[in-house]
Amino acid sequence: MIINGTEIEDTFAEAFGMSATRVIITAINHRWALIAGETMTGFATSVIGCGVEADIEAEIAPDKTPDGRPGVSVLLFGMSGKALAKQLETRVGQCVLTCPTTALFAGIDGEKRIPLGKNLRFFGDGHQISKQIDGTRYWRIPVMDGEFLCEESVARIPAVGGGNFLVLAETQQQALSACERAIEAMRKLPNVIMPFPGGIVRSGSKVGSKYKALMASTNDAYCPTLRGLVDTRLGPDIGSVMEIVINGLSDADVKFATRTGISAVCELGAAAGIRRISAGNYGGKLGQYHFHLREVMA
């Protein structure tokens, strides 16, 4: 398959079942809502080292938030409900409760619940107050700028993490420009995040290492500087490879985001130095979801 001179390899991305939640953070203005969201989702690129994968999903206008103030929606993904709950409580307690003027609400429905305000309320040292509105309980926790309003619990649902594609280009700048274009298009979509810095990964990994302490190590087959030293997947025309990892609330969300991102890259095409699109997988042995690139783009 060739799109605008760029080859779409006959391969697939291998993704995993995860547990996810969405929370809505509001504040006195968009600036402070974004600050809370960005702080909360810092150091949340990979469950391998961060415990959770998270990012801001979208900015939300005041007429779309529960309290009529500017807000952001944040998606968080964990490998288990327990891991997700621990990370959510810690990050909200340290990064949203502490942030001036913020409040936090559940942003998704589901039967399985994660306690949040129910646990954070103890920071109020006995002065916290609960209020039930339309069957939903909220906690008002006194803080020095007023109070922090937090929903008692939020829902968690099954989700998909680890969808991905690789951009193989002639130069580093060409690979970066193409990925930036893809991220710009993908961030307009609901229900997905790209959790790595700016949505882009330069340090793609493989399973295992020559060092026993490491469970993952550099994807040497796609490292240009190792060409000639390892069993490389790169020809002499490839000078840089970058990856985009996609987490979504469903496999359909991940598939559509993958198609959107690859389409944006291929609009630049071979004329802009984009030689191939590939994907990372583990031979189909680890992840429950397989996104075959040519099927996605058909």
Q: What CATH number does residue 7 fall under?
A: 3.30.70.520
State which residues form the domain around 200: 2-14+160-297
pLDDT digits (tens, 9 = 90+) for 60-100: 999 999 999 999 999 999 999 999 999 999 999 999 999 99
Q: For 97-108, what is the mean pLDDT? A: 98
User: Quick count: other Cβ atoms within 10 Å of Cβ 207?
Assistant: 12
95 and 188 in a common domain: no
Q: CB of 65 within 8 A of CB of 71?
A: yes
Q: CB of 280 within 8 A of CB of 204?
A: yes
Q: Which residues are bridge partners to 206 per DSSP?
A: 217
Chain position carrying tokens 């190590």: 217
According to DSSP, the β-strands at 289-292 and 12-26 are: antiparallel
Domain boundary among 141, 157, 173: 157
On the question of pLDDT at 121 being above 90, the answer is yes
Question: Which pTM does this prediction carry?
Answer: 0.95
**Distance of alpha carbon 237 from alpha carbon 170, whole angstroms:** 6
136 and 220 in a common domain: no
152 and 27 in a common domain: yes
199 and 80 in a common domain: no
Domain boundary among 135, 157, 179: 157
Count helices and strands in the chain by DSSP H and E runs: 7, 18
6 and 55 in a common domain: no
**Distance of alpha carbon 148 from alpha carbon 89, whole angstroms:** 14
79 and 145 in a common domain: yes
Q: How confident is the model at residue 55 (pLDDT cuts 50, 70, 90)?
A: very high
What total of structural domains would you count in the chain? 2
